[in-house]
Amino acid sequence: MPIGWNPTAKLLKRTKGKKLDPNSVLVKHRKYLRSLENSKNIDADERMLVLAEKENKTRLFKENASKQRSKIRTLKETELENSPDAQ
């Protein structure tokens, strides 16, 4: 067979090892670790959503408060302009 040709399937060695027992301690531990990682990721996502909601709520509150302050300021200014003492 010339160099560089792939060997046929018959010539390839079998690299499959022994099948793992599904009740093996290591298999169960890997499954536990996978589920733990998934639950931690879900919790982190939920915390990020709650934090984003809080920040959004705070931002909206600040915006509304600044709008109210500006309205009050304009009302006071117009009131001072229209007062009889100003003339």
The answer for 8, left when phi > 0, alpha when psi is -120 to 50, beta otherwise, is beta
When the pLDDT of each residue in the chain is averaged and rounded to a whole number, the result is 86
Count Cβ atoms below 10 Å from residue 51 Cβ, excluding itself. 10
Any domain includes 43: yes
pLDDT, greater one: 68 or 18: 68
- pTM, 2 dp: 0.54
User: Residue 46 falls within a domain, yes or no?
Assistant: yes
pLDDT of 17 reads: 65
The verdict on residue 73 lying in a domain is yes
Summarised one tens digit per residue, pLDDT across range 14-46 is 666 667 687 889 889 999 999 999 999 999 999
7 within some domain? no
For the chain, what is the domain count?
Answer: 1
Q: Is residue 15 part of a domain?
A: no
Cα distance between residue 62 and residue 80, in whole Å: 27
Look up the domain containing 40 and give its range: 25-86
The pLDDT of residue 85 is above 80: no
**Does residue 70 lie within any of the structural domains?**
yes
Q: Over 60: is that where the pLDDT of 12 sits? A: no
CB 62 within 8 A of CB 56: no
